[in-house]
Amino acid sequence: MAVTLDQTIAQRQHNWLSTLLKSQAFWVFIAIVVACIFLSFATNSFATPKNVYNITRNVTFTAIIALGMTMVIITGGIDLSVGSVLCLCSMMLAVTMHAGWSIEAGIAAAILTALVIGAFNGVLIAYLGFPPFVVTLGMLSIARSLAMVASNNTVVFQFGPDHDKLLALGGGAWVFGIANPVIYTLLLALLTGFILRWTKFGRHLYAIGGNEHAATLTGVPVRMIKVAVYMISALSAGIAGIVETGWLGAVTTNIGAGMELQVIAAAVIGGASLVGGVGTAFGAIVGAALIEVIRNSLGLLGINAFWQGTFIGSCIIIAVAFERVRQLRSTD
């Protein structure tokens, strides 16, 4: 039987359909679609323009950070500090603008803060070999405390001369009546997806998560990439913080509290594996969307909000169960 070289090169283990059917993000997406169809019939208030607008906007803050978190998780790391970094960046933005500076200066201050914190986390993890869990747990505490120091633990709701610009940035709907945060999220998701699939940097993230030792031996600049990935994660929290500040119109030192768990949940539900080497931008978005749909629908169906944690927690465990089943199958 003559198999030509071209045939061998073209030979795939799976066609696109079986790849799709094996993708966790795809099944989560289907679950969301089914839930949405069900809810539109079961309730009067789900498929209203107002509710859809709210859901899509609420997804975004988690989704934006889940994109950064997914990259960290792909390398086999974790970033617990994102909720606090969001808070600190929001506060830097608020305090800067409150003091009379322009919105550009405020955003620059917030982004710079994020990058410095990310670099600090990254250097400790990559160059000094500290465990990511511990470093970012420490930063979770530090960043929120710094936010309290920066604001003297007050609520900031006056943002100086560019007050209205900031509120429009986060609360507006400039394109086809779609909430601005949704547009930002889609753009960031496309960017993340592009980086993961089409760049050397993205390829190296998967390599590090798959076998860090092998990546090092073959000359992948593992340490630099790890620093970069924690900077990206902090940056995503910073961006979410800026957008959320504009939307809320006020910043307290509680903003983003506990958000790290929701973000990690979104990434994991979307198929990112905490052992590293697996994850997609699409997964981060659908993971965040599923959590928001659950939260929204419980309210609409008149189920006590105390049940929320049970549903979201179950989703996490089911997601991990799917991963286990796939692992067991592939080792057969």
Partner 1 sequence: MSVLELTNISKHFGAIQAVNDVSLSLEAGEVVGLMGDNGAGKSTLVKMIAGNFQPSHGTMRMDGKELVLHKPVDARRHGIEIVHQDLALCNNLTAAANVFLGRELRRGFGPLRILDYAGMYKRAGQIFAELKSETRPRDLIRQMSGGQRQAVAIARTRLSDAKIVLMDEPTAAISVRQVAEVLNLIRRLRDQGITVVLISHRMPDVFDVADRVIVLRRGRKVADKRIADSSPVEVTGLITGAIEQV
Name the residues that contact partner 1, by CB under 8 A.
5, 8-9, 11-13, 197-200, 203, 206-207, 209-211, 213-220, 277-278, 330
> CA 281 from chain center: how many Å?
9
Q: Residue 225 CB, nearest distance to partner 1 (Å)?
A: 12
Residue whose CB is less far from partner 1, 22 or 254: 22
Residue 74 or 240: the one with the smaller Cβ distance to partner 1 is: 74
Contacts of 167 (CB under 8 A, 6+ apart): 159, 246, 249
Instruction: Between 9 and 17, name the residue whose CB sits nearer to partner 1.
Output: 9
How far apart (Å, rounded) are the C-alpha atoms in residues 179 and 157? 21
- Quick count: other Cβ atoms within 10 Å of Cβ 26? 16
- Pick the closer one to partner 1 by CB: 10 or 305: 10
Q: Measured from the CB of residue 12, what is the shortest distance to partner 1 in angstroms?
A: 5
Query: Closest distance between partner 1 and the C-beta of residue 277, in Å?
Result: 4
Residue in this structure with the two tokens 């800026």, named with its chain if needed = 242
Q: How far apart are CB 197 and partner 1 at their closest, in Å?
A: 8
Q: Which is nearer to partner 1, 88 or 215 (CB)?
A: 215
DSSP 191-246: HHHHHHHHSHHHHHHHHHHH-HHHHHHTT--HHHHHHHHHHHHHHHHHHHHHHHHH
Smallest gap from residue 10 Cβ to partner 1 (A)? 8
Cα–Cα dist 300/253, whole Å: 29
